[in-house]
């Protein structure tokens, strides 16, 4: 049994909805347990229990949202000390851009070093059915890859 950890930060609900959809998609894969944690509550111990991590966060002021940055800052050196190398996928919610958050997250994650299991997904604007479907698809694809040992 593999474990997929979904870590999210949501100030006004959009990323929470995306994380919920990703959780729903990932749950369709029988060989994977899915744990969901708010970024403020997640730590290195959660990463150590996981086989892959999905990060769901917003772009704020051209950068990664504060709680997700805090999560990465808190776990960076402890993860390196434990030699944790987890495949990750990144889902960014943004009003009209998202590229700043994406670049910042990718740069930080390359330092762990965590390999990307898929291209980052940026969804722009308010949460809608299409965004939920894309998030569910990404969650399911990541879980399927973990289950099959692709990543």
Ligand X SMILES: Cc1cc2nc3c(=O)[nH]c(=O)nc-3n(C[C@H](O)[C@H](O)[C@H](O)COP(=O)(O)O)c2cc1C
Contacting ligand X (CB under 6 A), which of 4, 5, 10, 36? 10
Is residue 60 within the footprint of ligand X (CB under 6 A)? yes
Is residue 104 within the footprint of ligand X (CB under 6 A)? no
SS3 of residue 100 by DSSP? helix
DSSP track, 13-75: SHHHHHHHHHHHHHTTSTTEEEEEEEGGG--HHHHHT-SEEEEEEEEETTEE-HHHHHHHHHH
Contacting ligand X (CB under 6 A), which of 28, 31, 49, 62? 62
Q: Smallest Cα–Cα separation from 54: which of 145, 148, 149?
A: 145
Is residue 83 within the footprint of ligand X (CB under 6 A)? no
Contacting ligand X (CB under 6 A), which of 39, 91, 93, 121? 93
Is residue 13 within the footprint of ligand X (CB under 6 A)? yes
SS3 of residue 7 by DSSP? strand
Contacting ligand X (CB under 6 A), which of 22, 32, 94, 134? 94
Is residue 31 within the footprint of ligand X (CB under 6 A)? no
* Number of residues near ligand X (by CB under 6 A): 17
Rg (CA), the chain: 14
Which positions touch ligand X (CB under 6 A)? Answer: 10-15, 58-62, 93-98
């Amino acid at each position: 049994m593999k474990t997929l950890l979904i870590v999210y930060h949501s100030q006004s609900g959009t990323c929470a909805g995306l994380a919920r959809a990703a959780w729903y998609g990932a749950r369709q894969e029988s060989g994977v347990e899915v744990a969901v944690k708010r970024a403020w509550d997640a730590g290195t111990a959660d990463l150590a229990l996981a086989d892959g991590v999905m990060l769901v966060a917003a772009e704020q002021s051209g950068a990664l949202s504060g709680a997700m940055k805090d999560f990465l800052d808190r776990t960076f050196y402890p993860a390196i000390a434990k030699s944790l190398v987890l495949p990750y996928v990144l889902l960014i919610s943004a009003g009209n851009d998202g590229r700043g958050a994406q670049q910042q997250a990718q740069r930080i994650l390359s330092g762990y070093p965590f390999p990307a299991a898929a291209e980052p997904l940026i969804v722009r604007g308010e949460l809608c059915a299409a965004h939920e479907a894309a998030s569910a698809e990404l969650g399911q694809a990541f879980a399927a890859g973990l289950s099959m040992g692709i990543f």
